[in-house]
Amino acid sequence: MAARSHTVEPSRLAFGAWCHATDRHIGEGDIRASYSADRIGMGQPIRKPFRYAGDLWVCVGTGPAGAEAYRLVHPSLYGGIARTYAERCRDGDRARSDQAGFYDGITVRHAGRELVMVGPAIIFVAGEEAQLTLF
């Protein structure tokens, strides 16, 4: 099943540049800055999630074509069985072929609270973001 895509302002996907003077990225977009696959795999809190369509999201993959992300919800709102990354990895190939995506149902921590990643993943691509027309 191919991932759905959403178009966002290109600045949200900007790689930015490393500034040695401040020891941080300058000009990095909020979607790319939320990349947390490395932290999820190590059981560490995720980086600051980004907002899209009123929901919190976290990025798990980036590249020239865009960024792959999962929505974050409170555990009480997740309809399945939430589990840690390590527990999900025990499912092996079955987890990798899950229609909802590998990260679906994985618990993460941010700002001292537990959240659950909900799939399927969305690919965010650069372009003109759709504008809501009221008339």
DSSP labels, 12-66 = GG---EEETTTTEEES--HHHHT--HHHHHTTPPPPPPEEETTEEEEEEEEETTE
Number of domains present in the structure of the chain? 1
- Assigned domain for 67 exists: yes
- Assigned domain for 99 exists: yes
DSSP secondary structure letter of residue 77: G
- Structural domain containing residue 92: 4-126
- Assigned domain for 83 exists: yes
pLDDT in tens, 21-62: 988 878 899 999 999 999 999 999 999 999 999 999 999 998
Q: Which of 73-82, 94-103, 111-120 has the lowest mean pLDDT?
A: 94-103
- Assigned domain for 132 exists: no
- Assigned domain for 133 exists: no
- Rounded CA separation 79/26 (Å): 38
What DSSP element (H or E) covers 39?
helix 37-41
- Assigned domain for 112 exists: yes
- Assigned domain for 135 exists: no
- Assigned domain for 48 exists: yes
Q: How far is CA 57 from the centre of its chain?
A: 5
- Of 9 and 27, the one with more pLDDT: 9
- Rounded CA separation 68/60 (Å): 6
